[in-house]
Amino acid sequence: MEVSMTVNGRAVSADVEPRTLLVHFLRENLRLTGTHVGCETGYCGACTVHVDGKAVKSCTMLAVQAEGADVKTIESLASNGNLHPVQEGFWERHGLQCGFCTPGMIMASVALLDENNNPSEDEIRHGIEGNLCRCTGYHNIVRAVEYAGAKMRGEEPPPPDWEGGE
Amino acid sequence: MHFHHPTTLADATQAVAEGATPLAGGTDLMVEVNFRHRRPEHVVGLRKVEELGAWEGNRIGAGVTWRRLEHGGPQALAEAARTVGSPQIRNAGTIGGNVVTASPAGDGLPFLVAVDAKVEVMSAEGGRLVPWDVFFVGVKKTTLAADELVTAIHLPESLPERQAFGKVGVRSAMVIATVGCVVTRTDDGKTTVGLGSVGPTPLRASRAEEMISSVTRPTESDLAEFQKMVSDEARPITDHRSTEEYRRHAVGVLARRLLERCLR
Amino acid sequence: MTAPSRVRPARVAGGVGDSTLRPDGIPKLEGSFEYAQDLWQEGALWGATTRSPHAHARIVAVDVSPALSIGGVHAVLTADDVPGSPTFGLEHSDQPVLASDVINYWGEPVALVAAEDRDTARRAAAAVKVRYEILEPLTDPGEADTRDEAFRRIRIRRGDQEASGPVVVEGYYETAMQDQAPLGTEAGLAVPDGQGGVDLFATSQFLHVDHEQVVASLGLSADQVRAHPTGIGGAFGSREDVNLHIHLCMLALRTGQPVKMVYDRSESFTGHVHRHPARMWYRHEANRDGTLARVEARILLDGGAYASTTPAVLANASYFAVGPYKCDSVAVDGVGTRTNNPPCGAMRGFGAVQVCFAYETQMDRLADALSMDPIELRRKNALTTGDHFATTGQIIETPLPTVEVLESLAAMPLPADSESDLLPGGSGLTTEARHVMRGIGYAIGIKNLGFSEGFDDYSQARVRLAGSGAVVETAAIEVGQGLVTVLAQIARTALGISDVTVEHVDTSRIDSAGSTSASRQTQVSGGAVLKAATTLRDRILHHHDGDDLTDQGVLRNGDVIVTMGELVADDWQETATFRHPPTTAPDEYGQGKLHADFAVAGHRAVVDVDPELGLVRVIRVDTAQDVGKALNPEAVLGQIEGGIMQGVGLAVMEELVVEEGIIRNPNFTDYLLPTILDAPDVEALLIEEDGSWGPFGAKGVGEPPTISSTAAVAAAIRAATGKAIERVPVRPQDIAL
């Protein structure tokens, strides 16, 4: 079945078996492997992408359901070698270890900050409650999103914990 | 697999009549497909059917997402919506899906039950309104006919002034309800109690409702009696998520706390 | 050991002690990092596995024809197709590559499929017709113990067995089966080399031991198989055992095409081993002053169907059964049973976690019985350098700051009573502040670092000059813990050169680095890098009669006499193998110098509990941890925060529910990992001291955060509720009913 959509600003069309999940379409047809599959049940969030501006879990959506949609993946964030503020936050605040959850975590955080670029710690936690991380204990992820929020507001990010932050 | 992507309700119901499995947010169906418990050969995607997303007054289109309900639904339904999956799931998942799946743990169902909602279903032949207690008949079993599509939820004209939702789960977010409950109370004391995860279908605790509705200012002992009656009316089982004993206990505690919230 | 270099390098940017950022960070943030799941080659086929739906059964017949008749299927293999050793195993080769006769656990592999796409492969795997004669599974480990179905028994007797004390506490404790649940499932790609050999790229924690087992089962010579490192989405013990490795190679060799396989989450739950569920009986006897007079323990770990690392996990549980405490009269009996439950093996903490929950609960009960402050009781009995280990009698030779850990922890500030935005029940809105009781609990734990019981534990590393600096080559596996960062830091400091990268190389290019487990890589592979780098620097300086090596090259009296470019052109390199201090096998009473090093850590948990509903929110977990020397403080904190989270998970929600040998919750819907809303705040104190044999005095830091965090949370729940709390995870019904 023919499907067309915009992925990371580029128009793409392909002939896919309708059973194909959006995440597999992205990973295998388009070779955009930054979007990961962790659970196939919509729980882990590693497959989070944006469809028409909203964060969704691409493992519980068919590629053909995204017909005509505007899809954004982790690969769309950095531009001209510059990291997106959220990526920068995860980098500067040690917000990743194995990194498998990271693209989904970042896409969920971007969606959160796009709506509210000055979230409280509580709002950050609620905003990315749908993304599991097994390595970090989440502490640095909260700090990473705070860093990104400050950057997006044009403010100086709070200093890291290990420099007398918290 | 065949996939239809209609933009009109008529085309959608036509596809369902032809045997297509409806797919909206994918929260439940896609998990079944991914784990190969189901392998539908014919699917109709509902994302583009704008009529299903319509929400006017007391008629909530089946395609209305949890995200919209979270930010604009009646209080207890909004509270319930907040506990569905995660932000990503709430962006995609719909109230219609919750109703069609008919899991005893469906987060939206205690509210619908508590306010005596009706389910609007439609086939190529026409539509009908089904009271919730006729619609839900067992664990993931409904009276929806094979050629019918759930198109909307009808809430009553006026909703109780006070409503409260609660859900017991072991995790702070993204968790299937061990016990779910909605308590509503009108200013003149009429109280309803909708229960989830404590029976094959969502339930009402009718005897407890009747008892407490007759009390204008419930005392400590009325509340204790109410709690016990709710526990007694629940029909929980033991499974890998919890035990019958705990669910029976927790549903009473929760109902009482929600009633207290309504009374405040 | 410390760097023997005569001229100590000047401080180098990005050297040890800096919180250097991860070199793999940018690709991981941009989505370009290549995980095993992402590997692909043109023309690759997809593999899938047919697994037993029964926990115990006899295979009567296998009919592969329905699978073979599906279009796009290239091969269907069964046990008859295993070319070499029909079994594999980390310590004992007892696990069939494919079951041929008897099924011993639910999900055991029976057949393999290679097909043109994932969906076809999975459909074909489901189409393989296996006729089973269902057998009664043995699923009660107590029954298995009675029937002497045991992988190992350990009997420890130390000191006067008649010793006793006037204050006695007894208890029975259980811990449930936990899963490592790394976010990346098992995945890999096998590529035939066209000459009968194969290149394997698959998730792993220990390349050389994968290689050994793959070679044996393929019936090939060692040089015909090359195991390559790949990008790994977490491990925590789950990747120590072979799972899809031999399968992938068999399919690739049979079809002559590359074959890719990725387990989905439910298959992952059957495809790797789990943390052993434990049953533990304890009796502590103390003198009136609180000193331990005698400890008796009986420990049962259920190993499930196959050995995996059960013998070593049982050893750890038994040897660490008393905890970081002195006691001169000890009796421990341990058994690792064989049942038809899912196989259990390595998970972060490796046997030390289960017993810590038991002995720390005992210590609290003892403090209660003695009317003594629990911290004081622990301090009074604290094991430290120079003491005999309570179980094995080994004299502790490396620094062991147990008292400092305890005292620092107790001195850390507590949160204000009101300090919590999030209530038990979370977004379920079950609980108001008035329903909440707060509790505080302490626990400390101890674990070995590196392999034990006489195992020849070594790692090889190579340091060579290349590009504009140096490259470290190793087969040590980076699973996310940050080894790739710290090995470069060690090399920078030892060489005096700031431009150092780490290259993970395949089994044909370097000798073993040992496993990424037992908290050992920083110490052991780090030791190898330090040794290679130090030797290389010395050789270069000696050769050129220089007095310093820097980014510019060799210096003499401050002048560059040989440039880095010239050094690189000369192809300088050094390969070194590091071994930690030798250990011995235990004698018949479990005595001996069994361990190379130890680490202690302590945790203080603060929990809010809704006792009526039995819901818990862990508010904060503070910790003091013995780290030797923090080579990358921020990376150490990352290990601590993540390890605590896994300990909290086991305390309050993580449990594989197994009934009649079948896992009832093999998915993320019902196997609950803590979310960001469940994550406690963490304050950590790193206790540094000199004298461990790790590079620059470093100790392993990966496992200690998980040892006592579970016990501390359980203690806090006990304090909040007054309930006995003898089992983890603590379920709502354990509190509310």
**Segment C695-714, tens digit of pLDDT:** 999 999 999 999 999 999 99
Q: Which residues pair with residue C57 across a beta bridge?
A: C103, C134
C-alpha span between C100 and C108 (Å, rounded): 11
In this structure, which CATH number among 2.40.30.10, 3.30.365.10, 3.20.20.60, 3.50.50.60 belongs to the domain C25-33+458-579?
3.30.365.10
CATH 3.90.1170.50 residue ranges for chain C? 37-136+181-271
Taking the Cβ of residue C667 and every Cβ of chain B, the question of whether any pair is shorter than 8 Å is answered with yes
Helix boundaries (H) for B197-243 = 206-213, 220-233
Look up residue C488 and give its two tokens.
Answer: 């470069």
Cβ pair A126:C119 closer than 8 A: no
Band the pLDDT of C3: cuts 50, 70, 90. very low
- Whether the CA torsion C95, C97, C98, C101 is positive or negative: it is negative
B1-47 classified as CATH 1.20.1740: no
pLDDT at A130 over 80: yes
Q: Give the up-direction half-sphere exposure of residue C283: CA atoms within 13 A in the CB hemisphere.
A: 13
3-state helix, strand, coil in chain A (%, to 5): 40, 15, 45
Cβ pair B166:C429 closer than 8 A: yes
pLDDT at B184 over 50: yes
Query: What local confidence, expressed as pLDDT, does residue B178 receive?
Result: 98
> Average of pLDDT values for C186-194?
98
Taking the Cβ of residue C422 and every Cβ of chain B, the question of whether any pair is shorter than 8 Å is answered with yes
Helix (H, G, I), strand (E, B) or coil at C602: strand
What is the CA angle B170-A37-B169, rounded to 5?
Answer: 10
> Average of pLDDT values for B100-129?
97
Burial profile C443-465: b = 16 or more Cβ within 10 angstroms, e = fewer: bbbbbbbbbbbebebbbbbbbbb
Preferred mutation among A139, A141, A147, A161 to probe C, highest tally of C CBs within 10 A: A139
CB A44 within 8 A of CB C182: no
Query: What local confidence, expressed as pLDDT, does residue C8 receive?
Result: 61
Searching chain C, which residue's CA lies closest to the CA of residue B169? Answer: C425
Q: Which residues pair with residue C155 across a beta bridge?
A: C333
CB C447 within 8 A of CB C598: yes
Local structure of residue C158 (DSSP, 8 states)? E
pLDDT at C573 over 60: yes
Whole-prediction pTM:
0.97
Nearest residue to A139 (alpha-carbon basis) of B200, C663, C58, C705: C705
pLDDT at C7 over 60: no
pLDDT at C328 over 80: yes
In this structure, which CATH number among 3.30.365.10, 3.40.50.880, 3.30.429.10, 3.40.50.2300 belongs to the domain C278-452+587-736?
3.30.365.10
Q: Give the up-direction half-sphere exposure of residue C327: CA atoms within 13 A in the CB hemisphere.
A: 36
H-helix or E-strand containing B95?
helix B95-101
Q: Which chains touch B (3 or more CB pairs under 8 A)?
A: A, C
C-alpha span between C679 and C646 (Å, rounded): 10
Taking the Cβ of residue A3 and every Cβ of chain B, the question of whether any pair is shorter than 8 Å is answered with no
Determine the length of chain C.
737
CATH 3.30.365.10 residue ranges for chain C? 25-33+458-579, 278-452+587-736
Query: What local confidence, expressed as pLDDT, does residue C6 receive?
Result: 42
**Segment B44-101, tens digit of pLDDT:** 999 999 999 999 999 999 999 999 999 999 999 999 999 999 999 999 999 999 999 9
Tell me the average pLDDT of chain B. Answer: 97
> Average of pLDDT values for C60-82?
98
Tell me the average pLDDT of chain A. Answer: 95
Taking the Cβ of residue A137 and every Cβ of chain C, the question of whether any pair is shorter than 8 Å is answered with yes
Query: What local confidence, expressed as pLDDT, does residue A159 receive?
Result: 87
Whole-number percent of chain C with pLDDT over 70: 98
CB B247 within 8 A of CB B235: no
Write out the CATH class of domain C37-136+181-271: alpha beta
Taking the Cβ of residue B88 and every Cβ of chain A, the question of whether any pair is shorter than 8 Å is answered with yes
C-alpha span between A19 and C245 (Å, rounded): 28
Query: What local confidence, expressed as pLDDT, does residue C610 receive?
Result: 98
pLDDT at C5 over 60: no
Three-state SS annotation for C251-297: HHHHHCCCEEEECCHHHHHHHCCEECCEEEEEEEEECCCCCEEEEEE
Domains, in order of start, for chain A: 2-75 (3.10.20.30), 85-158 (1.10.150.120)
Q: In C, which residues are within 8 Å of B164 by CB distance?
A: 429
Write out the CATH class of domain B162-263: alpha beta
> Average of pLDDT values for C593-617?
97
Query: What local confidence, expressed as pLDDT, does residue A161 receive?
Result: 73
Query: What local confidence, expressed as pLDDT, does residue C10 receive?
Result: 67
C-alpha span between C49 and C122 (Å, rounded): 8
- The per-residue DSSP string of C367-414 comes to HHHHT--HHHHHHHHB--TTSBPTTT-PBP-S---HHHHHHHHHHSPP
C-alpha span between A154 and C508 (Å, rounded): 51
Cβ pair B1:A17 closer than 8 A: yes
- The per-residue DSSP string of C533-567 comes to HHHHHHHHHHHHT-SEEETTEEEETTEEEEEHHHH
CB C530 within 8 A of CB C714: no
Band the pLDDT of A81: cuts 50, 70, 90. confident
The conformational region for residue A96 under phi > 0 = left, psi -120 to 50 = alpha, else beta, is beta
Cβ pair B174:A129 closer than 8 A: yes
Query: Residue ranges of the domains in chain B?
Result: 1-47, 162-263
Band the pLDDT of A163: cuts 50, 70, 90. low
pLDDT at A165 over 90: no
**Segment A21-75, tens digit of pLDDT:** 999 999 999 999 999 999 999 999 999 999 999 999 999 999 999 999 999 999 9
Q: B154 φ, ψ to 5°?
A: -105, 120
> Average of pLDDT values for C462-490?
97
**Segment C382-440, tens digit of pLDDT:** 999 999 999 999 999 999 999 999 999 999 999 887 666 789 999 999 999 999 999 99
C-alpha span between C511 and C492 (Å, rounded): 22
Query: What local confidence, expressed as pLDDT, does residue C51 receive?
Result: 98
C-alpha span between A139 and A143 (Å, rounded): 7
**Segment B160-177, tens digit of pLDDT:** 999 999 999 999 999 999
Distance in angstroms between the alpha carbons of the first and the last residue of chain B: 54
Determine the length of chain A.
166
Query: What local confidence, expressed as pLDDT, does residue B86 receive?
Result: 96
Select from C264, C665, C733 the Cβ nearest to the Cβ of B245: C733
**Segment C139-156, tens digit of pLDDT:** 999 999 999 999 999 999
Look up residue A115 and give its two tokens.
Answer: 């709506």
Taking the Cβ of residue A57 and every Cβ of chain B, the question of whether any pair is shorter than 8 Å is answered with yes
